Amino acid sequence: MIGAAGGLVGDQGHVVSGTTRYLATGFPFVWKSQLWFPLLVGSGTVAVGELRLRIAPVRARGDWSDGLAAIAAVLAIYAVTALVRGRPLGPGTVLVAGLAVLVWRALGASTPGAVCGLIAAIVGTTTEIVMVAAGVFEYADDADALAGVAPWLPALYFAFGVVAARLGELLAPQARPG
């Protein structure tokens, strides 16, 4: 649910800024997104959270304000990717990548977090490249330098993966030590 709602909030930024445009027809829209988008982001959030719990035991505890801050951080980066529309891609990509690293560091700089971030970056970017190639949606002409998608996209997915992993940790059933 968190992932789906966050996906809707972030995606409307890309649509209203003209960064991305939906091409396929026949899907109902939710706000500015086609229905499958929030479902995909929501499932991805759950999948990454599950993955995190399978990789390694959860050590870093936290409270709900950690989760809120993690969600705020990734939505802020998502908004930045919409706001740099029309600006040179080089510094925009450097900014998003730098922020993604800072989010990873602020959320504990953990190895499992980095693994989840890298997997999200690879799977998410590849999925979007395939969907763009299939004509489902497209990036604007000045933001499609990475095989049809934006060059900052892997960094955005990395931050998403790190945050989803952290949410998985926070929502995990609390195993009490012996």
Which residues contact its own copies by CB under 8 A? 9-10, 12-13, 16-17, 65-66, 68-69, 72-73, 75-76, 78-80, 82-85, 87-88, 90-92, 94-95, 97-99, 101-102, 105, 109
Q: How far is the CB of 159 from its own copies (least distance, A)?
A: 12
Classify residue 49 by burial, with Cβ atoms within 10 Å: 0-12, 13-18, 19+: buried
C-beta closer to its own copies: residue 50 or 69: 69
Q: How far is the CB of 142 from its own copies (least distance, A)?
A: 12
C-beta closer to its own copies: residue 23 or 98: 98
Q: How far is the CB of 175 from its own copies (least distance, A)?
A: 25
Q: How far is the CB of 129 from its own copies (least distance, A)?
A: 23
C-beta closer to its own copies: residue 104 or 137: 104
C-beta closer to its own copies: residue 25 or 65: 65
